[in-house]
Amino acid sequence: MLRVLALASVVLLGIAPQASQAITVYTSWERHALVGSDVRLSCSFFSWRFVSEDVSFTWRYRPDGSRDSVSIAHYAGGEPYTDNKGAFKDRVEFVGNPKRRDGSILIKNLDFSDNGTFTCDAKNPPDIVGRPSSVRLLVFETLPIQAGVITGAIIGVVLGLLVLIVVIYYLMRFLVARRVFSLSVSKHGKKKKEGSQQRQASFLLLLFFLFLLPLLQYPPPLLPPLPHMHPVCSDKRNRLARCHHHMTIWRDYNSIQRLLREFGMRKRVVKGNIHLLCMAAQLT
Amino acid sequence: MLCILLGVLALHLLVFILLIVSTASNEKGHSDLWYSCLSEPKAYSCSQASNEDWIQAVQALMILAVVFCFVSLLAFAYQLFRLFKGGRFYFTSIFQILASVFVMCAAIIYTVMRPSNGKGFGYSYVLAWVAFPLSLISGLIYLILRKKD
């Protein structure tokens, strides 16, 4: 316990000298604006000290291609002062809230000659050691599309379409398999009752196979193939119950397979899709 | 069978590497996909490539080609172990052919719209044009290939 206290006090003492660390000023990196519009350049700072009454903000402007900067806005002693002689006469307004560490300015009615770098310098006595931060202003006639917007859009749309197509494809296969399976189950259930209805159901089932199995064949199943083609179930003993269930279907499909072979369909087509129907069976 | 598989896989990897190098490289002194750099005797200045629509479309298509090539590589690995005997590598070939189509589109757009400042073509451009027929051939091989294991 004492050790914890000692450690904590050491840490706190280590932090205390940082109370007089440098002030950090934050502005945007770059601002894009249209000719004739207004732009708000934001500037804020972080300081370990509370905001004093002598907090000051200074905004300087350096045109593109020039090395000298001229001051255009200043806030000190609770009063804002803006340019009343130079190029920014009556166009600059101090809109920040210094008590909330915000020293933003608003520049109205932009022109192409306003292209340049704006530097904000904030001082919070006694915290005065810090580097000013700059924001670059670019004035355009028409705003260009940001780099990467179109790139991201194209990539996103194509990948999204791909995912959608894959999902729809598997959904369709699954639904068709379920439909076929439910038909066969209904046929099997009423087997003892009416013979003509059975024949009708089996005919419908056959139709389904004829029309939909070619569709199902199309890309070959990405799902795992069956290890052996004999029983539809796996070899594990604890799946015996399901095995029986499937064996009945298998009997039906064997007969259907024979019929299909007469029609010229490939055996592989039927075999390749039986596990799908098994899957559908497990879920119904 | 093993030789064919290894050969096809090697070709696929070659295409993948070519695509990556072509997409991600920036040669100094040429106007490229991501940056345009001017080289002077003792200095160089790079600025981001123009924000024009066509360059962004070329960027997107090249990235998509790389992605599809990678996905087809994964599909090949999957189908190698999971496909039933006698089956064709459909998914692999579809993705590979799509990748080649994207590379072709990107190369064509770049050829048509490139800034006419007579600087010539960088190696990334040449690599893209080389990758296109190779990936097309690779995709077609996958289409014809049958799993015999």
Q: Write the CB contacts of A242 (distance below 8 Å, at least 6 apart in sequence).
A: A233, A282
Q: Who among A147, A152, A272 is closest to B51 (CB)?
A: A147
Measure B53 CA to nearest chain A CA, in Å.
7
* DSSP for residue B31: B
The predicted-structure confidence for A77-86, as pLDDT tens digits, reads as follows 888 898 888 8
Which of B13, B17, B20, B15 is closest to B131 using CA atoms? B15
Residue A37 has pLDDT above 50, yes or no: yes
In chain B, what residues touch A136 (CB-CB under 8 Å)? none
Q: What is the mean pLDDT of residues A188-192?
A: 54
B80 is a domain residue: yes
Number of domains in chain B: 1
When scoring B54, B55, B56 by the number of chain A Cβ atoms within 10 A, the one with the most, hence best to mutate, is: B56
Q: What chain A residue is nearest to B48 in terms of C-alpha separation?
A: A147
- Between CA B24 and CA A10 the distance in angstroms is 50
Q: Report yes or no on B37 lying in a domain.
A: yes
Q: What part of A 91-150 touches B (C-beta under 8 Å)?
A: 144-150
Say how far apart CA B69 and CA B93 lie, in whole Å: 10
- B105: domain CATH number is 1.20.140.150
* Residue A114 structure tokens: 């306003």
Q: Is B51 within 8 Å of chain A by CB?
A: yes
What's chain A look like in SS3? Answer: CHHHHHHHHHHHHHHHHHHHCCEEEEECCEEEEECCCCEEECEEEECCCCCCCCCEEEEEEEECCCCCCEEEEEEECCEEEECCCCCCCCCEEECCCHHHCECCEEECCCCHHHCEEEEEEEEECCECCEECEEEEEEEECCCCCCCCHHHHHHHHHHHHHHHHHHHHHHHHHHHHHHHHHHHHHHHHHCCCCCHHHHHHHHHHHHHHHHHHHHHHHCCCCCCCCCCCCCCCCCCCHHHHHHHHHHHHHHHHHHHHHHHHHHHCCCHHHHHHHHHHHHHHHHHC
Give the residue on A whose Cα is nearest the Cα of B35. Answer: A147
Determine which of A209-223, B3-17, B44-58 has the lowest per-residue pLDDT on average. Answer: A209-223
Does the beta-carbon distance from B60 to A268 stay under 8 Å? no
Contact B56 A145 (CB under 8 A): yes
Interchain pair B91, A150: CB under 8 A: no
**Rounded distance, CA B75 to CA B10, Å?**
15
Which residue segment(s) compose the domain that B46 sits in? 2-144
Token duo for residue B102: 């994207």
Mean pLDDT of B131-142: 93
Domain presence at residue B124? yes
**Does residue B149 lie within any of the structural domains?**
no
Say which residues have a Cβ less than 8 Å from residue A236's Cβ, sequence separation at least 6.
none
Q: Does some domain include residue B44? A: yes
Q: Out of A145, A147, A150, whose CB is closest to B48?
A: A147
> Are A159 and B67 in contact (CB < 8 Å)?
yes
Chain B hits for A153, Cβ within 8 Å: 60
- In the numeric block, the tokens 């905004």 are attached to A59
The terminus-to-terminus CA distance of chain A in angstroms comes to: 63
Q: Fill in the amino acid letter for A36.
A: G
Cα of B87 to nearest chain A Cα, Å: 7
Nearest Cα neighbor of A23 from A127, A133, A99, A102 is A127
**Percent of the residues in chain A that have a pLDDT greater than 70, as a whole number:** 62
DSSP B146: B
Give the pairing of strands A133-140 and A30-34: parallel
Q: What is the pLDDT of residues B79-105, one digit of tens each?
A: 888 877 777 888 899 999 999 999 999
Contacts of A238 (CB under 8 A, 6+ apart): none
What does the pLDDT look like over A201-259, one tens digit per residue?
555 565 555 555 555 554 444 443 333 334 444 444 444 455 555 555 555 656 555 65
pTM: 0.55
User: Which of B23, B47, B51 best probes binding to A when mutated, by most A CB atoms within 10 angstroms?
Assistant: B51
CB contact under 8 A, B63 and A221: no
DSSP 8-state class, residue B49 = P
From A56, A52, A87, select the one nearest A74 (Cα to Cα).
A56
Residue numbers in B near A155 (CB within 8 A)? 60, 63-64, 67
Q: What is the pLDDT of residue A230?
A: 40
Are A140 and A35 contacting, i.e. CB atoms less than 8 angstroms apart? yes
What are the Cα distances from residue B76, in Å, to A27, A200, B50, B136? 50, 43, 38, 15
pLDDT at A144 (0 to 100): 75
Tokens encoding B10:
């090697």
Chain B neighbors of A152, CB-CB under 8 A = 60
Total residues found in chain B within this entry: 149
Domains along the sequence of chain A with CATH: 18-140 (2.60.40.10)
**pLDDT score at A59:** 93
Contact A154 B60 (CB under 8 A): yes
